[in-house]
Amino acid sequence: MHQDTIAAVATAVGEAGIAIVRVSGGDAYQIGDRLFSPVKGGTLQDTPGYRIRYGHIRDPESGKAVDEVLAAVMRAPRSFTGENVLEIHCHGGPKVTQRILELFLQSGARMAEAGEFTKRAFINGRLDLSQAEAVIDVVRSRTDSSLDVAVQQLEGSLRRRIDSFRERLLDLVVRVEASIDFPEEDIPDVELGEMQTIISSVRSEIQQLIDTADDGKILREGFKTVITGKPNVGKSSLLNRLLDEKRALVTEVPGTTRDVIEEVVNVRGIPMRVLDTAGIRSTTDVVERLGVERARDLWREADIIIHVLDASIPLTEEDWDILDATENHKRVIVVNKIDLPRSWPLEDLPLDSSTKLVEMSLLEGNLEPLLDTIVQLVHGGMRLRTEEALVTRTRHKQALAEAEDDLRQAQQTLDDGLPVDLIAVGLQGALEHLGEITGETVRDTVLERIFAQFCIGK
Amino acid sequence: MFPKNEHYNMIVVGAGHAGSEAALAGARMGARVLLLTTTLDAVALMPCNPSVGGPAKANLVREIDALGGEMAKNVDATLMQLRMLNTRKGPAVRALRAQSDRKLYQQRMKLTLESTDNLYVKEALVTDLLVQGSSVRGVKVADGSEIFGDTVVLATGTYLRAVIYIGDYRDSSGPQGLKPANALGENLGKYVATARFKTGTPPRVHLRSVDVSQLDIQPGNFFKGGFSFETASVESRQLPCWLAYTNEETHRIVAENLDKAAIFTGAISGTGPRYCPSIESKVAQFPDRRGHQVFLEPEGWNTYEGYLSGLSSSLPAPVQLRILQSMKGFEDCEMLRPGYAIEYDCIDPLALHPTLQVKGFQGLYCAGQVNGTSGYEEAAGQGLLAGANAIRELRGQEPVVLRRSQAYLGVLIDDLVTKGTNEPYRMMTSRAEHRLVLRLDNADRRLAHIGRELGLVSEQRYDRCAKKWSAIERLCSSLESQQVRPGRETNELLQRSGSAPLQRPASVADLLRRPELDFWSLAPLHGQYEVEQQTAEQVEVEIKYSGYIEKQQRAIDRMERMENRSLEDVDFADVRGLSREAQEKLQQVRPRSVGQASRIAGVSPADVNVLLVYLAQRSKRRSYSEQ
């Protein structure tokens, strides 16, 4: 598996003060020397690790300076990826940054795939599984609130919680195993009542952690939203309002189909991913263009549907088709153009528990009530728990659920009055599943502790 | 004694527990075997206490028996006491433990060796190996003669450059004053990396000088059969052991004299086992304990010598006597032999293949304490497999490597050759990830077919075993299908056993799964009165714990997938992306599978992923190049 040299812009695209182009791989410094000329002379290949050189990036063909930069050298294995890493800190304009990246790509580096730096760091043993995943989240996180969760996870708040579960179960297992393996030593058997207490308390805390998974997922991935409605009701006004108010963060190119692109908007700290059909912007309607059937697929994918209606003209067949098709889906019905005379009463709308209603003028009205409504619908109005550990990964949730299930079985075994070697099966299983999250093994730890804790021997 | 040009298929060096099993296995497979010992009077010596079995160790003995080894029969024939331990802790951890008569044990094993065809037991001190290129050719003995053998099994126990310590007294000696093997110890380093380990024994006392009426008596509690699946019943006349305690006075004496203990003076450099600490280590490490248990165990029917399990020591003899006399019941105790610490050379087991062959040497095998283990049972099991594999290698047959999910013996050897060990390795149930399937009672089912394939288990014996297990299976399935209807008689029967009445029809097996019911209490319902006790117990375990056993079986299946991902032809230097530590460890251990690799210390889950990615890429490349 030859690790070639990869490069990418490591900072967010935008008008930031400084941008970083990161290069990682065996040839990072050779390639760098083709482009970078240090003011004080010498080469990057001769620069020791953890040094920063000042100089210029030059276009090798024209010899012209592209930008004045700092070049940071971090040598393998003491770098983020565990490989030779070169970081070019440049002046941040998107064009300059892009040009520097292109020069690297022309000089022998390959464009990094999404998350590839982290993947290499993980493969080179620089990160444990949960750290690696959290780093990927940092890279991907789109809003401040998401960033909080990702950063905390990296620092190990999830890890601390899991360590606490492991610690309590380990202590129990160590005592159980010591009494099994050394029956002729005076090691007290673990009392069933105590076992009961520990198992059920750890179990309920694991369950609490699992319950944060939905919040975690929304914070990390955001929620998918589709804006729908017949032509000229104000869909594009809504999208433009959302985008205008500087909430738009990233424009991603390909969506689920070639007709759909995704706009990401920051709503109260949660990424709202608006599945934008080219249709909304060009005011040709998705339903019109794709038909209700195709639109239905899009609605199914969405976490939330925003259905825009025009209060000033009577409801038509088309409005009713959409209302029927989106029934029982989480939706916000925006009754637009209330500044104009109404042509139908609100009571006509079929309201159910998953539907919220907002009346406003999308052209100039206050957007805040609509945003509040959306957020409320997304997570039932609960305040998102950003200050504590959240399960943001499906894999973590899965492992926790399995650990919880093992503990449930251990508890059942205990209640059935079955012997301790069978209870131990569940306890060990739970420990192993928790270890899957942090990448730690159980067996040797148990033995170490038996000897540290008990005086055993002939 | 060794005629010129005499030639053996296998030469076993050392006639302890490993050497005896190795030699018996080889000879019983039809090979010509020479077994060498420094003294014929020390065959199968138990220099520690004459106790065999206990958790996990008893399972090892049963596994040796199922594979056609001798240890179980030898214990059964010479035991003085048998106890079943952990009876209430569950079927997977129940453990037989025997006290044998030390002398009888040795005599019977020696006689067995002497009565075996093709097996020659002789006295000689081996000083070096004969090696040609990368193949072993035989051994050199003290008088300078060379003896030729196709294969050599080293089972040198604790004798290589052995030194004993009692306080500041130090002597070049094996256990119990036996000759050490110094030259072989010095020469072994030429072939393989060695380490220095230590262990110890307690003082022995005259039983008539101890007031046992002051101690807790501990009689045998098991009389229904022995270690061997072929033993119908064992000696019913059993000798008791006694339980004594150290006290604060004992600990004060130990603490005052700690500076005189060989293990604390710095004289000993070897690593001792944590599970077998000397009394001085116990007092130093657990200063808060006010008393430690000490078992007083008789050494044989025909002696008053008693062993003090728990009081191992390297303090000067006079201090040991004061320690003894500080204990209740031991006030007038007469010490017969002082305890001592012993230091010896062993090899780094990472130098071994899982077949127990030394890497890089054709025909050279190592077994027992020389591999860094501790315990008679661990040694005997390795001896059997080393002996059998040496002969199989000679015959061009596939070696036998037991899986972790198949036997404690598999766990033992996999641990040794995968992780190495930095203290004498003792088997424990917590070392096995699937102990519900590695039970004492099903060792024959797990391993008898392998014993038969090795040629160590006769067809008749194998048939008996196969019949027993198919009868058990039939009985299990008939109990699963036999329906019981709720009714007055049934419910009265249930209530007599403290079990809830039946509400709707259920199978007998369902009832048997209730913790409070057993096979015999349900006899009026299933009508199987003629079943042997062993069979009844089996059926009970299989049915009662079937859910748990199936769950563990699924875990085994998952593990086996990784065990089957072969790494045998992988050059780890070629694998990019491994951490440096992982790369070094993998090159040293040379694991045979991804499963084994994942158990190496220093190989992280990330490294395992790298290996999997490497294998996937390689098979892709291969399929391209085939196209």
* Alpha carbons B191 and B55: distance in angstroms, whole number: 35
The domain boundary residue, chosen from A88, A108, A126: A126
Residues B236 and B250 in one domain: yes
- For chains A and B, CB pairs below 8 A equal 133
Q: Is the pLDDT at A261 greater than 70, yes or no?
A: no
- The alpha carbon of residue A137 is apart from the nearest alpha carbon of chain B, in Å, by 19
- The alpha carbon of residue A240 is apart from the nearest alpha carbon of chain B, in Å, by 45
Supply A402's token pair.
Answer: 């399995």
Tokens 């040795």 correspond to what residue?
B106
**Whole-number pLDDT of residue A255:** 31
Instruction: Report the largest interatomic distance among the alpha carbons of chain A, rounded to a whole angstrom.
Output: 95
- Output the domain CATH number for residue B222: 2.40.30.260
Cβ atoms of A107 and A60 within 8 Å: the answer is yes
Residues B499 and B593 in one domain: no
The average pLDDT across A200-221 equals 81
Residues B51 and B179 in one domain: yes
- The alpha carbon of residue A421 is apart from the nearest alpha carbon of chain B, in Å, by 5
**Whole-number pLDDT of residue A248:** 43
Instruction: Report the largest interatomic distance among the alpha carbons of chain B, rounded to a whole angstrom.
Output: 87
Does residue B427 fall inside a structural domain? yes
Cβ atoms of B63 and B381 within 8 Å: the answer is yes
**Per the CB < 8 Å rule, is B436 touching A2?**
no
Percent of chain A at pLDDT above 90?
Answer: 26
**Whole-number pLDDT of residue A278:** 44
Residues A58 and A16 in one domain: yes
The average pLDDT across B369-377 equals 96
* Nearest to B153, CA basis, from B361, B35, B13, B350: B13
- Output the domain CATH number for residue A446: 1.20.120.430
- Output the domain CATH number for residue B579: 1.10.150.570
Does residue B102 fall inside a structural domain? yes
Does residue B178 fall inside a structural domain? yes
Radius of gyration of chain A (CA): 29
Residues of chain A with a CB closer than 8 angstroms to some CB in chain B:
1-3, 77, 82, 120, 122-125, 127-129, 177, 179-186, 413, 416-422, 425, 428-429, 439, 443-444, 446-447, 450-451, 455-458
Domain count, chain A: 3
The average pLDDT across A173-196 equals 90
**Whole-number pLDDT of residue A281:** 43
Instruction: Give the CB-side neighbour count of residue B11, counting CA atoms within 13 A.
Output: 28
Does residue A10 fall inside a structural domain? yes
**Whole-number pLDDT of residue B487:** 87
* Alpha carbons A49 and A72: distance in angstroms, whole number: 8
Does residue A383 fall inside a structural domain? no
- Output the domain CATH number for residue B92: 3.50.50.60
**Per the CB < 8 Å rule, is A455 touching B286?**
yes
Q: Which residues of A touch B288 (CB under 8 A)?
A: none
The band of A450, judged by pLDDT with boundaries at 50, 70 and 90, is confident
Query: What pLDDT, in 10s, does the model give residues A332-347?
Result: 999 998 888 888 888 8
- The alpha carbon of residue A82 is apart from the nearest alpha carbon of chain B, in Å, by 9
Which residue blocks in B508-545 are alpha helix, DSSP H? 508-512, 523-526, 533-544
**Whole-number pLDDT of residue B136:** 96
**Whole-number pLDDT of residue A210:** 85
Q: Which residues of B touch A179 (CB under 8 A)?
A: 89
**Per the CB < 8 Å rule, is B515 touching A180?**
no
Torsion of CA A129, A132, A138, A139, to 10 degrees: -140
User: Which residues have CB under 8 Å from A393's CB, separation 6+?
Assistant: A130, A133, A216
Q: Among B293, B515, B576, select the one facing A416 at the smallest CB separation.
A: B515
ipTM of the complex: 0.89
**Whole-number pLDDT of residue B509:** 94
Residues A19 and A113 in one domain: yes
Indicate left, alpha or beta for A439 from its phi (over 0: left) and psi (-120 to 50: alpha).
Answer: left
Supply A395's token pair.
Answer: 């894999």
Residues A265 and A287 in one domain: yes
The domain boundary residue, chosen from B552, B572, B593: B552
Average pLDDT of chain B to the nearest whole number: 92
Looking at chain A, how many residues does it have?
458
The average pLDDT across B592-621 equals 81
Tokens 């109404």 correspond to what residue?
A342
* Alpha carbons A386 and A211: distance in angstroms, whole number: 14
Q: Among A181, A418, A420, select the one facing B56 at the smallest CB separation.
A: A181
**Whole-number pLDDT of residue A219:** 67
**Per the CB < 8 Å rule, is B545 touching A422?**
yes
Q: Among B48, B282, B428, select the one facing A455 at the smallest CB separation.
A: B282
Does residue B519 fall inside a structural domain? yes
Does residue B558 fall inside a structural domain? no
Which residue blocks in B482-532 are alpha helix, DSSP H? 488-496, 508-512, 523-526
- Output the domain CATH number for residue A91: 3.30.1360.120
Does residue A146 fall inside a structural domain? no
Enclosing H/E stretch for B151: strand B146-154
Q: Which residue of A has its CA nearest to B618?
A: A1
The domain boundary residue, chosen from A378, A410, A425: A378
Which of A55-59, A253-257, B365-369 has maximum average pLDDT?
A: B365-369
Query: What pLDDT, in 10s, does the model give residues A402-417?
Result: 999 999 999 999 998 8
The average pLDDT across B79-99 equals 93
The band of A294, judged by pLDDT with boundaries at 50, 70 and 90, is low
User: DSSP letters along B7-47, please?
Assistant: EEEEEEE--SHHHHHHHHHHHHTT--EEEEES-GGGTT---
Q: What is the amino acid identity at position A168?
A: R
Pairing of strands B33-37, B51-53: unpaired
Residues B273 and B323 in one domain: yes
**Per the CB < 8 Å rule, is B276 touching A181?**
no
Tokens 């859910």 correspond to what residue?
B547
Does residue B113 fall inside a structural domain? yes
Residues B217 and B258 in one domain: yes
Residues B285 and B172 in one domain: no
**Whole-number pLDDT of residue A127:** 65
Q: Which residues of B touch A458 (CB under 8 A)?
A: 48-49, 202, 276, 309-310, 312
The average pLDDT across B189-202 equals 92
The band of B43, judged by pLDDT with boundaries at 50, 70 and 90, is very high
Looking at chain B, how many residues does it have?
627
- The alpha carbon of residue A220 is apart from the nearest alpha carbon of chain B, in Å, by 24
Residues A353 and A296 in one domain: yes
Q: What is the amino acid identity at position B82?
A: L
The band of A249, judged by pLDDT with boundaries at 50, 70 and 90, is very low
| Structural domain range at position B620 | 564-626
Q: Among A425, A443, A451, select the one facing B275 at the smallest CB separation.
A: A451
Query: What pLDDT, in 10s, does the model give residues B490-503?
Result: 889 899 888 889 88
**Whole-number pLDDT of residue A254:** 32
**Per the CB < 8 Å rule, is B430 touching A181?**
yes
Does residue B360 fall inside a structural domain? yes
pTM for the model stands at 0.77
Percent of chain B at pLDDT above 70?
Answer: 98
**Per the CB < 8 Å rule, is A420 touching B90?**
yes
The band of A1, judged by pLDDT with boundaries at 50, 70 and 90, is very low
The band of B439, judged by pLDDT with boundaries at 50, 70 and 90, is very high
The average pLDDT across A135-140 equals 53
Does residue A256 fall inside a structural domain? yes
Does residue A284 fall inside a structural domain? yes
Does residue B530 fall inside a structural domain? yes
Domain count, chain B: 4
Distance of CA A236 to the CA centre of its chain: 28
Residues B72 and B193 in one domain: yes
The domain boundary residue, chosen from B273, B307, B338: B338
Q: What is the DSSP letter of A273?
A: E
Residues A188 and A257 in one domain: no
Residues A350 and A409 in one domain: no
**Whole-number pLDDT of residue B99:** 95
Residues B190 and B235 in one domain: no
**Whole-number pLDDT of residue A165:** 93
Q: Among A127, A182, A455, select the one facing B289 at the smallest CB separation.
A: A455
Q: Is the pLDDT at B212 greater than 70, yes or no?
A: yes
Residues B410 and B524 in one domain: no
- The alpha carbon of residue B477 is apart from the nearest alpha carbon of chain A, in Å, by 22
Does residue A351 fall inside a structural domain? yes
**Whole-number pLDDT of residue A250:** 37
**Per the CB < 8 Å rule, is B86 touching A122?**
no
The band of A380, judged by pLDDT with boundaries at 50, 70 and 90, is low
**Per the CB < 8 Å rule, is A180 touching B274?**
no
The average pLDDT across B312-322 equals 95
Return the minimum-mean-pLDDT range out of A343-357, A380-394, B177-191: A380-394
Residues A266 and A346 in one domain: yes
User: Which residues have CB under 8 Å from B395's CB, separation 6+?
Assistant: none
**Using CA of residue A392, residue A396, residue A397, residue A400, what is the dihedral sign?**
negative
Q: Is the pLDDT at A146 greater than 60, yes or no?
A: no
Q: Which residues of B touch A181 (CB under 8 A)?
A: 55-56, 428-430
Residues A371 and A238 in one domain: yes
**Per the CB < 8 Å rule, is A418 touching B274?**
no
Residues B196 and B235 in one domain: no
The band of A265, judged by pLDDT with boundaries at 50, 70 and 90, is confident
Average pLDDT of chain A to the nearest whole number: 78
**Whole-number pLDDT of residue A62:** 85
**Per the CB < 8 Å rule, is B312 touching A455?**
no
Residues B397 and B478 in one domain: no
Q: Is the pLDDT at B362 greater than 80, yes or no?
A: yes
Q: Which residues of B touch A455 (CB under 8 A)?
A: 277, 282, 285-286, 289, 292
The average pLDDT across A359-377 equals 85
Supply B203's token pair.
Answer: 């003082």
* Alpha carbons B404 and B438: distance in angstroms, whole number: 9
Q: Is the pLDDT at B333 greater than 80, yes or no?
A: yes
**Per the CB < 8 Å rule, is A177 touching B430?**
yes
Q: Which residues of A touch B86 (CB under 8 A)?
A: 180, 183
Q: Which residue of A has its CA nearest to B605?
A: A439
Q: Which whole-number Å values give the CA distances from B139 to B12, B37, B114, B136, B188, in the listed order?
A: 10, 13, 21, 8, 12
Q: In what order do the strands lie in the sheet with B163-166?
A: B169-172, B163-166, B340-347, B194-201
The average pLDDT across B322-348 equals 96
Residues A330 and A294 in one domain: yes
**Per the CB < 8 Å rule, is A184 touching B275?**
no
Does residue A368 fall inside a structural domain? yes
Supply B491's token pair.
Answer: 């419910």
Does residue A287 fall inside a structural domain? yes
Tell me the CA end-to-end span of chain B in Å, nearest whole number: 64
Q: Which residues of B touch A182 (CB under 8 A)?
A: 55, 275
| Structural domain range at position A169 | 154-212+391-453
Residues A340 and A301 in one domain: yes
Percent of chain A at pLDDT above 70?
Answer: 74
Residues B386 and B506 in one domain: no
**Whole-number pLDDT of residue A262:** 67
- Output the domain CATH number for residue A240: 3.40.50.300
**Whole-number pLDDT of residue A220:** 65
- The alpha carbon of residue B332 is apart from the nearest alpha carbon of chain A, in Å, by 23
The domain boundary residue, chosen from B290, B312, B338: B338
Return the minimum-mean-pLDDT range out of A39-43, A68-72, A238-242: A238-242
The domain boundary residue, chosen from A320, A347, A378: A378
**Whole-number pLDDT of residue B369:** 97
